[in-house]
Amino acid sequence: MAITVDPSTRGIRVYTLSLTSAVGGAVSTTLDLYGEIMGIWLDIGTLSSPDIDISDTTSGELCLTVDAVGSDTMWHPKILCTNNAAGALTATGNTLQNYYIGNCTVAITGAGDNNTGEIYIYVKNS
């Protein structure tokens, strides 16, 4: 897996993960991001309905988990609040948690054998 970082974007670093799934459809890597995730873009390429989990390596807390992604997709952070009755609101659809992260694990499964795609992670400089 090739990983490149473009620090030239004003205030935002863009991490590009060029993915090639192994036989069995899995690929994973760990990154040092150290910043607030502002967005995640999947260029699906030839990946076949991948399941994607992005988590904090130290705590294991998930920042994004999506199943069977079928097309190029962008996820932006959302902040969940409480309603007037103090009950927790729930997110509809797939939600990227507004998240500050240090070490990050990106794990993809179910992507098909030897398929390729790219993930772009946009991180606000801290």
pLDDT digits (tens, 9 = 90+) for 55-76: 888 888 888 889 999 999 998 8
Domains within the chain, CATH numbers bracketed:
2-78+96-124 (2.60.120.380)
pLDDT digits (tens, 9 = 90+) for 93-125: 445 555 677 888 999 999 999 999 999 999 887
Q: What is the pTM of this model?
A: 0.78
Cβ(59)–Cβ(47) under 8 Å? Answer: no
Element (H, E) at 41: strand 27-43
